[in-house]
Amino acid sequence: MKQYNSWHSYKRLLRFVVPYKKKLAVAVFCMAVSGLSNVVVPWLIKDVIDKVLANKDTQTLNFICIGILVLFVIRGFFYFWQKYLMSYIGQRIVNDIRETLYRHIQSMSLSYFDKRKTGNIMSNLTNDVTALQTAIADNLISFVQEAVILIGSLVSMFYLYWKLTFLTLGIVPLVIFTINYFGKRLRMAGHRVQGKLADITSLIEEAVSGIRIIRSFNREEYEIARFVDQNDKNFWALMATTRLTALLTPFIQFFAAIAVVGIIWYGGMSVIDGKMTAGALIAFLIYAVNLSNPVRRISEIYGEIQRSLAAADRVFETLDTKADVEEKKYARDLDVVRGKVEFDHVYFSYDEAHAALTDFNLTVNPGQVVALVGPSGAGKSTIANLVPRFYDVTAGSLKIDGIDVRDVTFSSLRQQVGLVPQETMLFNATIMDNILYGRLAATEAEVVAAAKAANAHEFIKELSDGYATVVGDRGSALSGGQRQRIAIARAILKDPRILILDEATSALDTESEKIVQAALERLMQGRTSLVIAHRLSTVRNADKIIVINHGSIAEAGTHDELLAADGLYASLYAVQFNPSAVTEG
């Protein structure tokens, strides 16, 4: 975790306040008025002792009592507006930060998500951002109020008896040292708390998404034990911050007690010597208490801000992370394409140690169906990920209609590429909404036409709510074949010139595979298609079959040509269709 300077982090947070500076100015004014009301009361009490009680002045007494009531009415009015406005500003800032963070995450390359747990990303958007509201809004209210009380009390104390004020301020260096000492440790403790919260969120996300696996292996108690362990770690991380906060306050209060004792002794001697009135001493004591409370609260606020800035560090670390794949500043739009795809001496690796593709050369002509087959880990899915530029080639170039994909905008490139993956991702929305995801502006008639082309219309009609049926989380309310047909309908509606089918039927039963395969063949008509397949029966009719092995092309040709060559393809084919012969051999 990268460490950020506290002041720099807080200034960076305050940039999100700028759009609401007018409301903030009004809120600060209300806070100042509300805080000043605390400074006025000791003066009124001083007059009660020195004037009312000494001179038995009932008129002044009535005036002071009415003044106190009016003062608290005014204070209540300004307190309401400071609270409302700061809550508004705080919530808006949290919304803005979360939106900024979400936009940034959406712009990140796939490699960013490959390296991070989903739960950690979710925690970043929820727990970390929410923690920032404390630093920006809640603590700002307290800080301004306590600062006003602190300054007002100091000015009044100097006015009443400047020598006694200097005696009181003798504890300030001790307070500053203590606050700084505990502040550094609170920030480190805050980092641990936010990290543990992220771990809990990640564990919950895994448990919910993998609930079927948990049930099938009878691992409920094991998962509960994992959660209890993480929950306990979070508890002790929180207790560490509580321990530091609980230690900080008594230290500050003890220093304040030293100051109060000094005031009572020195002030009492001054009253006895006639250098100070009793009312002035009482007022001075009240101001001293007013002074100790803001010092204590500001020390607590400092600790809370340090803990909140730990969350800010996590947010800023994400915002400062650059995408591995970036759009050029002057990237051009890729116009409607014919669909020619060229891999020109392409090298690619996910890390420096292992190459996924090595000197890969392939040309797919417009409208051609090219199948990519080979052993697991050969590099087939890598090829599919390079075409829509989910990753950038390490060396060489990938061109569409002669244009390097790195020279065009993401949106125009991906508009021309359709993807039907093995694991179909449907959103927890209606079937209509899921198909519309292919082209949001499509009409209902176009959606129905796409569903018919995907062999999905008949089963959709039989559902209780038809196209308005909510498919559940990841499409859990539908069968695998139904989900795949919805995904195909979505791709048909998008109408891409280049189509990538990444083992689109490998997870289906034989009956579903036939239905989906018929829909896929209809989808591929007139499009450049890259078909990644494990089941070789699905690619027999491809225009060309490319056999990938260790990131390079091992063989290329039609189904019959490759069988006749008796190479790797023939071996893979024999394993699938005549495994006993392979075993006997």
Pairing relationship of beta strands 417-420 and 498-502 according to DSSP bridges: parallel
Quote helix, strand, coil % in the chain, to nearest 5.
Answer: 70, 10, 20
Q: In this structure, what are the phi and psi dihedrals at residue 548, rounded to the nearest 5 degrees?
A: -100, 140
Mean pLDDT of 558-577: 84
Give me the pLDDT at residue 584, please.
Answer: 45
Give me the pLDDT at residue 541, please.
Answer: 81
| pLDDT tens digits, one per residue of 78-106 | 888 888 888 788 888 888 888 888 888 88
Give me the pLDDT at residue 585, please.
Answer: 41
- DSSP-assigned letter for residue 47: H
Judged by average pLDDT, the poorest of 193-197, 414-418, 540-544 is 193-197
**What is 6-319's CATH superfamily?**
ABC transporter type 1, transmembrane domain (1.20.1560.10)
Distance CA 505, CA 492 (A): 17
Distance CA 570, CA 577 (A): 10
How far, CA to CA in Å, does 63 sit from each of 44, 69, 223? Answer: 10, 10, 69
Give me the pLDDT at residue 345, please.
Answer: 92
Q: How confident is the model at residue 344 (pLDDT cuts 50, 70, 90)?
A: very high
Distance CA 156, CA 45 (A): 13
The 3-state DSSP class for residue 440 equals coil
Q: How many CB atoms lie within 10 A of CB 526?
A: 11
| pLDDT tens digits, one per residue of 263-292 | 777 777 777 777 777 777 777 777 776 666
Q: Dihedral, CA atoms, 188, 192, 198, 203, nearest 10 degrees?
A: 170
Mean pLDDT of 507-529: 75
CB-based contacts of 162, cutoff 8 Å, min separation 6: none
Give me the pLDDT at residue 125, please.
Answer: 80
b/e per residue, 172-183, with b = 16+ CB within 10 A?
Answer: eeebeebbeebb
b/e per residue, 127-145, with b = 16+ CB within 10 A?
Answer: bbbebbbbbbbbbbbbbbb
Q: How confident is the model at residue 496 (pLDDT cuts 50, 70, 90)?
A: confident
The 3-state DSSP class for residue 399 equals strand
Judge whether 241 and 161 are in contact, CB under 8 Å. Answer: no
The token duo for 491 is 């791709």
Give me the pLDDT at residue 3, please.
Answer: 60
For the chain, the domains span 6-319
Highest-scoring range by mean pLDDT, 57-71, 84-98, 112-126, 172-186: 84-98
E-strand ranges in 84-217 read none
Distance CA 439, CA 541 (A): 30
- Percent of the chain clearing pLDDT 90 (strictly above): 4
Query: Would the pLDDT of 398 be above 90?
Result: yes
